[in-house]
């Protein structure tokens, strides 16, 4: 698999490419399946339909890896937190985490078992995915999941979780430890079900100042990565903390690929981390509105990375109104530009 070879820094015929959120709303085929499922959570819990939408971008765009269709918040949901998705608002936990009693009531082993629909989807996908195409499993980082669990929904200020972090760090660590234990089981089960690589998304890493990031976010990502690498050394681990370009000097740990977001100059990431980790990214997602902008972005990244120790991706998820033709163009142009 070209993607797996690239994750381990091996020479590849061209730089492999995929996109975060590639199974999603910009594809009419996805919207059809989602409508059939009834709602987003029902789609996540339906292994056959989750399999179908996971495979769509492989068939339609020609990406080099499929990423499992699911949502990071199925984990706290199966731990015991009631989750719903509100139109225009996104995910909502009606009873956010506020007390130690609430935390103690959340499940660990049972949560990993209740996510059986994810493992079933993985088995279906791997059976239908071409052998040369990799399947990426994923989870949200402990800090990102804890943020949703405490805030009850998405936030721009992170006021509740950061208040807790500074006023009761012991309780915050207890939350993060419990979430990390669930994620160890969950990612192990994903690997055993058939994924070829795993990615951990820390979407809210940039909410934290440097000491807090390394104490409350990165330490738990490192712990999860080290656990998985010790247990499954043949499985590449990708870590993607978004928006921490100022902290790159202190990034370390046992993992294979570092995801570079679009706000971090690729030159800086290469200078600070390129000798230690394969880099993934970091095309600005809005460049996909213009073929000329796509060409410029590809040329810049490719000229910096020189087709070595790199996986092409967007620096965050593809946006819902990107023309499908432009997404196809991006994938094909990367594969052509980086050949040989």
Does 148 count as an annotated binding residue? yes
Instruction: Name the residues annotated as catalytic.
Output: 21, 25, 34, 71, 148
Contact present, 220 and 174 (Cβ < 8 Å) = no
Dihedral sign for Cα 28, 34, 37, 38, please: negative
Does 203 count as an annotated binding residue? yes
Which residues does 296 contact at the CB level (< 8 Å), separation at least 6? 287
Does 21 count as an annotated binding residue? yes
Does 126 count as an annotated binding residue? no
Does 219 count as an annotated binding residue? no
Contact present, 194 and 169 (Cβ < 8 Å) = no
Calculate the dihedral angle through the C-alpha atoms of 156, 86, 262, 162, rounding to the nearest 10 degrees. 30
Q: How many CB atoms lie within 10 A of CB 23?
A: 25
Counting Cβ atoms within 10 Å, is residue 28 exposed (0-12), middle (13-18) or buried (19+)? exposed
Alpha-carbon distances, residue 337 vs 17, 20, 209, 298 (angstroms)? 12, 20, 38, 8
Alpha-carbon distances, residue 314 vs 182, 261, 338 (angstroms)? 28, 8, 16
Does 316 count as an annotated binding residue? yes
Alpha-carbon distances, residue 317 vs 65, 90, 98, 178, 261 (angstroms)? 15, 16, 30, 28, 10
Does 217 count as an annotated binding residue? no
Eight-class DSSP state of 271: H
Q: How many CB atoms lie within 10 A of CB 304?
A: 17
Does 245 count as an annotated binding residue? no
Does 152 count as an annotated binding residue? no
Residues in the annotated binding site: 21-25, 71, 148, 203, 316
Residues in the annotated binding site for substrate: 21-25, 71, 148, 203, 316
């Amino acid at each position: 698999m070209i993607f797996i070879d690239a994750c381990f820094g091996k020479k590849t015929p061209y730089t492999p490419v995929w996109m975060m959120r590639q199974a999603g709303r910009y594809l009419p085929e996805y919207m059809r399946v989602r409508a059939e499922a009834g709602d987003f959570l029902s789609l996540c819990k339906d292994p056959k339909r989750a399999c179908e939408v996971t495979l769509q971008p492989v068939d339609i765009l020609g990406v080099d890896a499929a990423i499992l269709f699911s949502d990071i918040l199925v984990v706290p949901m199966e731990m015991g937190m009631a989750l719903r998705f509100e139109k225009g608002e996104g995910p909502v936990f009606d009873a956010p985490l506020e007390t130690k009693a609430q935390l103690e009531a959340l499940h660990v082993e049972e949560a990993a078992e209740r996510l059986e629909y994810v493992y079933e989807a993985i088995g279906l996908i791997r059976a239908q995915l071409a052998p040369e195409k990799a399947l990426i499993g994923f989870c949200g980082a402990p800090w990102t999941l804890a943020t949703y669990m405490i805030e009850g929904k998405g936030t721009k200020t992170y006021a509740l979780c950061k208040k807790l972090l500074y006023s009761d760090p012991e309780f915050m660590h207890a939350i993060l430890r419990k979430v990390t234990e669930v994620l160890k089981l969950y990612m192990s089960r994903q690997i055993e079900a058939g994924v070829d690589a795993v990615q951990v998304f820390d979407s809210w890493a940039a909410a934290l100042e440097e000491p807090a990031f390394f104490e409350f976010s990165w330490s738990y990502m490192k712990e999860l990565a080290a656990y998985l690498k010790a247990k499954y050394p043949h499985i590449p681990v990708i870590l993607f903390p978004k928006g921490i370009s100022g902290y790159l000097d202190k990034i370390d740990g046992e993992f294979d690929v570092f995801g570079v977001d679009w706000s971090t100059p690729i030159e800086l990431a290469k200078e600070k981390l390129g000798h230690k980790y394969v880099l993934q990214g970091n095309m600005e997602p809005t460049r996909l509105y213009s073929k000329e902008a796509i060409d410029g972005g590809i040329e810049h990244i490719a000229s910096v990375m020189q087709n070595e120790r790199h996986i092409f991706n967007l620096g965050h998820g593809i946006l819902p109104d990107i023309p499908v033709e432009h997404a196809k163009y991006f994938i094909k142009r990367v594969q052509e530009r980086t050949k040989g």
